């Protein structure tokens, strides 16, 4: 199990550069990626082959409507292999099953990720 900071919503993770017709990682996305990098650096041998991923999201506030699905893609992207060969798996295309759960913890918002080879 790996404990990571809460990912930003997919709605703010990327931004469009209309002039050059490309999609860029937003400031919020870069901050999230930079916060996760030292945690994921411990994982020097990313899994290869099919994997199953379980993500337990602990949100801060029950009163705010949060779409769980908007947090999954940024999480999957940050957990894949980097140029330094660190990460939980090589590519998010390997994921054969995703299990996502929503909980609330006002003191410690986070996501706990477990990846298992199939």
Q: For the residues 21-43, what does the mean pLDDT come to?
A: 89
Residue span of the structural domain in which 86 resides:
2-117
Of 24-28, 54-58, 99-103, the one with minimum mean pLDDT is 24-28
Total domains in the fold of the chain: 1
**Cβ burial, residue 5 (10 Å; 0-12/13-18/19+):** middle
DSSP letter string over 21-48?
Answer: TEEEE-HHHHHHHHHHHHHHTT--S-B-
* Closest to 76 measured CA to CA, from 60, 59, 52: 52
- pLDDT tens digits for range 49-98: 999 999 999 999 887 788 899 999 999 999 998 877 789 999 999 999 99
The rounded distance, in Å, linking the Cα atoms of 40 and 56 is: 17
Q: What is the pTM of this model?
A: 0.88
Domain of 77: which CATH number? 3.30.1330.70
**Backbone angle region of 38, left / alpha / beta, with phi > 0 → left and psi within -120 to 50 → alpha:** alpha
């Amino acid at each position: 199990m790996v404990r990571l900071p809460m990912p930003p919503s997919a709605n703010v993770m990327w931004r469009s550069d209309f002039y050059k017709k490309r999609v860029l990682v937003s400031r919020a996305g870069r901050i999230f990626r930079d916060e996760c990098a030292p945690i994921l650096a411990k994982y020097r041998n990313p899994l290869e082959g099919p994997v199953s991923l379980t993500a337990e999201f602990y949100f801060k506030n029950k009163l705010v409507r949060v779409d769980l699905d908007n947090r999954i893609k940024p999480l999957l992207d940050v957990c894949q292999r980097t140029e330094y060969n660190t990460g939980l798996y090589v590519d998010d295309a390997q994921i054969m099953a995703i299990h996502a759960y929503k909980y609330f913890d006002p003191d410690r918002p986070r996501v706990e990720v477990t990846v298992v080879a199939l």
